[in-house]
Amino acid sequence: MVDNHWIKTTCAFCGVGCGIEARVKNNKVIVRGDKQHPANFGRLCSKGMALGETVIEQGRLLQPQIEGQTTHWDTALTTIADTFQNIIDEYGPEAIAFYLSGQLLTEDYYVANKLMKGFIGSPNIDTNSRLCMSSSVAGHKRAFGSDTVPGCYEDLEKAELIIITGSNLAWCHPVLYQRISAAKQLNNTLKVVLIDPRRTFTTQIADLHLAIQPGTDVLLFNGLLHYLEKVNKLNYEFINNHTEGFTAALHVATTETIDHEQLATILGVSPHVLTQFYQWFAEIDNVVTLYSQGINQSSCGTDKVNSIINCHLATGKIGKPGCGPFSLTGQPNAMGGREVGGMANTLAAHLEFNNPHHHELLSQFWQTQRLVKQPGLKAIELFDAIATGKIKAVWIMATNPVVSLPNTKLVETALQACPFVVVSDCMMETDTNQYANIRLPAASWGEKSGTVTNSERRISRQRSLKKPSGEAKPDWWIITEVAKKMGFNQAFNFKNEVEIFKEYAQLTAYKNNGSRDLDLSAFKHLTDDEYNNLAPIQWPVTFSNQLTPNQLTKNKRFFDDGQFYTPSKKAQFIAVQFKPPASKVNTNFPFILNTGRIRDQWHTMTRTSLAPRLSTHIPEPFINIHPVDAYKQQIINFELARITSSQGTVIARACISEEVKPGQVFMPIHWTHVLSSNGQIGKLINSHVDPLSGQPESKFTPVTLSPWNYQ
C-alpha cells in the first residue's frame, strides 16, 4: 500500500475509477496517477490531478448543527433517531426517505440500505445515480436477467471498432478517451464512430461523426438491426442458441426503418454516413459500443439501451474480447451503489423485489422481520412525495439535489415544506443544506476509507490520507450510530468499514451458490490487513481458500459461455419502438436544450470549485448557440442571454458556436445558486422520466432564447 509514503487510493470524481497515489506533505495533499492501476495505468485527467487541492479546510462543515446552532454528535444523532421514531409511530415507516449519492462508498451505501429497507421498513431510499445510469440498469435486467456490465476496459484496446454514443468522452470520462487515443496510435485500423448531436471535443478521435437529431437513438439502432438482416450479417448460431425474442425485435426494427433515405432524413444525417456506420458494424468483428448519459437521460432511455444491446446480440458481439455493449457510469461509485441495493427498486446484492425467495433469503441474512416487500419511490417521485407531504422526513447524504434534480423549484418547495430534513455533507454551504434542520459533517475524500466500484466492475480502495477535519465522521459511522439509537444495535454493531464490507461479501456468497453474477465470496473471510492491502479487482471474485491474486477466480467478461441470468439462460431481445421525447418544441419554445458536463468541473462544483486552476478552463455558466439562431434571436457572442423553458428562466453567457446544430443549444450542468445566482440549469428541466427506469429526460428541454435585458 505504501511506497515511500505514497498511499494508493482512487479518484473521487468520475466512474472511470482511476487509481491515484497520494501523500501529505507540509499539510498539503499531493497526487499522481497510479501506474499499476488497471483503469488508468498512471494517467489522470485535469480533475484527478487537482484532487489534492480540494482537500482543504476552507468551507468545510466541521461540527454537527441543529437549526444552525453547533451541537454535540450525540445530541444530533439522538434527535434524528427520536424524530424518525416519532414519525414512524405517527405516519408509518414509509414517511421516512433517504436520498443518497454515487459519491458514497460501498460500505456507506450498504448500511444506509440495510437500515432503511431492512430495519426502518421503508423502501423510499433512492440515489442521485438515478440521474446517471438507471436506464442502463433497467436495460441490462431486461436483456440479461441481471444488472451486469459484460465487458472491461481492456476491450477498448482489443476492439477494431469503438462506437461512442451519448457521451462527450473526452471531457466526461477523459482517461478512457486517452486510452482510445493511445489505442488508435498503436492500431491504425481501429475505427471510432461518434454519435452525438453536438460536435464535441470527442470528434477529434472519430473517423465518423453522426450528429443525429436528439432523441432518435432507437431509430438509429433499429435501422442497424434491419441493415444487418438485409446484408445477411446476423449471427443465427448465436441468436438461435443463446437468445429469445429476435423475430419480434427485428419485425419492429424493420417496419420502422424500411426506407434508408427516409431514415437518414429523420436522423438528420446523410444516407452515405449512415451506411458507412452500418457497414462497419456489420463487417468488423470486434465492436464495443460505449454509451452514457445521452442514452440514459431520456424518457425512453431503457429502450435506447436495449436497441444497442439488440444489435450486439444479433451479431454475437458480446462476451468476447474487444466486443460488447458498455454502459459508462457517471459517478465514482454508481456501480457500488447498484451492487448493494442503494436504489428504490432493488433489495441488496442484486436480490430482487419480485422474487419471494430473495426476500426470504435477505430477511434471514439480516435477521429481520421488517424487510420491505415492494419497491419504493424513485428520485423524482420521492421529492414529489415530500412536496405533497406524504414523506415527513428525508435524510440527504453527499449530494445537492436542489441543483442536480430537474424542476429545482419543486425540490426547493419540497424541502422547505418537509418537517424534518437531515443533510450529511462535507461542505458548509450547499444549495441543499440551507434547508436542513440538522447538518452532519461528513468526512471527505482523503479522510475516509472504503471501497468503490467503477464502470468495469472493478472494486478499488479509497484510503484515508489524513484525519477528518473538525468533528467530521465517515458516513457509515453516522448511519450506524443512528441505527443503534433507534434500537437496532445488533445489526449495526460494526467496528469499522472492513466489517461492513465483509458482511456484504458474505451476503453475495450466501445468496449465490455460484449461480449469479455478483459474487464476492472470496472476500467473506477477509482479514483487516487483506482489506487494507486490497488491490483493484473486478467482480466476480469467487471463493478461494487463500486470498492471493493468483488464487482468485477472475472473470473479466460475462456471457463468454453464451449463458445469461434469465430463467431460460438466454438473452432477451426487446422489441423497441421509437418514441419521440416527452416534450416537443413549439413556437413558444422552439429550441432543444441539451445538457452535459465540462472538462474541469464535477457535478455541482462543491469540490472542484475549491481548486482555482479548474475554474480557469470555463469560469462561468454559458450557452452554446448556433450562429444562425443567435442572429435570429439578436444574441451577441459573449453577451448574456436569457434562456426560458416552461419551468423557469436562467441567464448565461452566449457562446456562439457551430458545435451545436441550428435549433439546438447546450448548457453545462454545474453551476449552483451559491456559485452563480442565475445559471442553475435545473430550473429549466422538466420532470419527465423513463417509465421503467425513472431516469429524467435531461437532454431534451424545449426553450426559447433572448438577449438579457439589463433594465
Q: Does 16 bind ligand SF4 (CB under 6 A)?
A: yes
Question: In the bound complex, what is the minimum distance in angstroms from residue 270's beta carbon to ligand SF4?
Answer: 33
DSSP annotation of 95 = G
Q: Does 614 bind ligand SF4 (CB under 6 A)?
A: no
For ligand SF4, the closer of residues 54 and 65 by Cβ is 54
For the record, the C-alpha cell of 492 comes out as: 449495526
Longest dimension (CA), the chain: 74
Subset of residues 40 to 59 that bind ligand SF4, contact rule: CB under 6 A = 40, 44-45, 47-48
Q: Does 336 bind ligand SF4 (CB under 6 A)?
A: no
Task: Give the C-alpha separation, 19 to 34, whole Å.
Answer: 5
The CA angle 40-45-49, to the nearest 5 degrees, is: 105
For ligand SF4, the closer of residues 40 and 257 by Cβ is 40
- Of the listed pieces 124-132, 168-176, 214-222, 310-318, which binds ligand SF4 according to CB under 6 A? 168-176
For ligand SF4, the closer of residues 34 and 217 by Cβ is 34
- Cβ 173 vs Cβ 149: under 8 Å: no
- Of the listed pieces 16-24, 198-206, 401-409, 604-612, which binds ligand SF4 according to CB under 6 A? 16-24
Q: Does 11 bind ligand SF4 (CB under 6 A)?
A: yes
From the list 8, 9, 13, 348, which residue makes contact with ligand SF4 (rule: CB under 6 A)? 13
Question: In the bound complex, what is the minimum distance in angstroms from residue 35's beta carbon to ligand SF4?
Answer: 14
For the record, the C-alpha cell of 256 comes out as: 420502422
- Of the listed pieces 13-21, 274-282, 385-393, 529-537, which binds ligand SF4 according to CB under 6 A? 13-21
From the list 175, 205, 311, 643, which residue makes contact with ligand SF4 (rule: CB under 6 A)? 175
Question: In the bound complex, what is the minimum distance in angstroms from residue 41's beta carbon to ligand SF4?
Answer: 11
Phi-psi region of 689 (alpha: psi -120 to 50; beta: other; left: phi over 0): beta
Which of 125, 9, 115, 117 has its CA nearest to residue 478? Answer: 115
Question: In the bound complex, what is the minimum distance in angstroms from residue 8's beta carbon to ligand SF4?
Answer: 14
- Of the listed pieces 9-17, 68-76, 631-639, 687-695, which binds ligand SF4 according to CB under 6 A? 9-17
Q: Identify each DSSP E strand in 285-419 by its residue range.
A: 287-291, 324-327, 393-397
Size of the site for ligand SF4 (CB under 6 A): 14
Chain residue whose CB lies nearest ligand SF4: 48
Q: Does 118 bind ligand SF4 (CB under 6 A)?
A: no
- Cβ 91 vs Cβ 124: under 8 Å: no
For ligand SF4, the closer of residues 315 and 454 by Cβ is 454
Q: Does 694 bind ligand SF4 (CB under 6 A)?
A: no
From the list 7, 14, 526, 623, which residue makes contact with ligand SF4 (rule: CB under 6 A)? 14
For ligand SF4, the closer of residues 45 and 343 by Cβ is 45
- Cβ 144 vs Cβ 310: under 8 Å: no
For ligand SF4, the closer of residues 387 and 465 by Cβ is 465
In sequence order, the 6+-apart residues with CB closer than 8 A to the CB of 198 are 168, 211, 594, 624, 659, 660, 664, 666
Question: In the bound complex, what is the minimum distance in angstroms from residue 17's beta carbon to ligand SF4?
Answer: 6
- Cβ 137 vs Cβ 352: under 8 Å: no
- Of the listed pieces 39-47, 269-277, 562-570, 615-623, which binds ligand SF4 according to CB under 6 A? 39-47
**How far, CA to CA in Å, does 195 sit from each of 158, 179, 264, 433?**
21, 19, 13, 38
From the list 174, 301, 336, 702, which residue makes contact with ligand SF4 (rule: CB under 6 A)? 174
- Of the listed pieces 15-23, 136-144, 536-544, 641-649, which binds ligand SF4 according to CB under 6 A? 15-23
For ligand SF4, the closer of residues 178 and 430 by Cβ is 178
Q: Does 421 bind ligand SF4 (CB under 6 A)?
A: no
- Of the listed pieces 171-179, 214-222, 333-341, 472-480, which binds ligand SF4 according to CB under 6 A? 171-179
Question: In the bound complex, what is the minimum distance in angstroms from residue 16's beta carbon to ligand SF4?
Answer: 4
Task: Give the C-alpha separation, 391 to 692, whole Å.
Answer: 23
Count CB neighbours of 367 within 10 A. Answer: 9
From the list 7, 8, 9, 18, which residue makes contact with ligand SF4 (rule: CB under 6 A)? 18
Q: In what order do the strands lie in the sheet with 287-291?
A: 208-210, 191-195, 161-165, 287-291, 324-327
The residue written with cell numbers 434562456 in the block is 643
Peptide bond connecting 540 to the previous residue in cis, omega within 30 degrees of 0: yes
H or E element that contains 649:
strand 649-656
Q: Identify each DSSP E strand in 4-91 by its residue range.
A: 6-10, 19-25, 28-33, 65-66, 69-70
Phi/psi for 623 (5° steps) reads -135, 125
Q: Does 29 bind ligand SF4 (CB under 6 A)?
A: no
For ligand SF4, the closer of residues 175 and 382 by Cβ is 175
For the record, the C-alpha cell of 589 comes out as: 419554445
For ligand SF4, the closer of residues 17 and 596 by Cβ is 17
The residue written with cell numbers 406524504 in the block is 390
For ligand SF4, the closer of residues 133 and 287 by Cβ is 133
What's the residue count for the chain? Answer: 711
Question: In the bound complex, what is the minimum distance in angstroms from residue 454's beta carbon to ligand SF4?
Answer: 8
- Of the listed pieces 172-180, 336-344, 534-542, 590-598, which binds ligand SF4 according to CB under 6 A? 172-180
Count CB neighbours of 409 within 10 A. Answer: 12
Question: In the bound complex, what is the minimum distance in angstroms from residue 31's beta carbon to ligand SF4?
Answer: 9
Cα dihedral sign, 596-601-605-609: negative
For the record, the C-alpha cell of 454 comes out as: 467503477
Phi/psi for 145 (5° steps) reads 80, 5
Question: In the bound complex, what is the minimum distance in angstroms from residue 152's beta carbon to ligand SF4?
Answer: 16
For ligand SF4, the closer of residues 212 and 611 by Cβ is 611
The CA angle 513-356-105, to the nearest 5 degrees, is: 65
- Point out which residues pair with 23 in neighbouring strands: 30
Q: Which residues bind ligand SF4 (CB under 6 A)?
A: 11, 13-14, 16-18, 40, 44-45, 47-48, 173-175
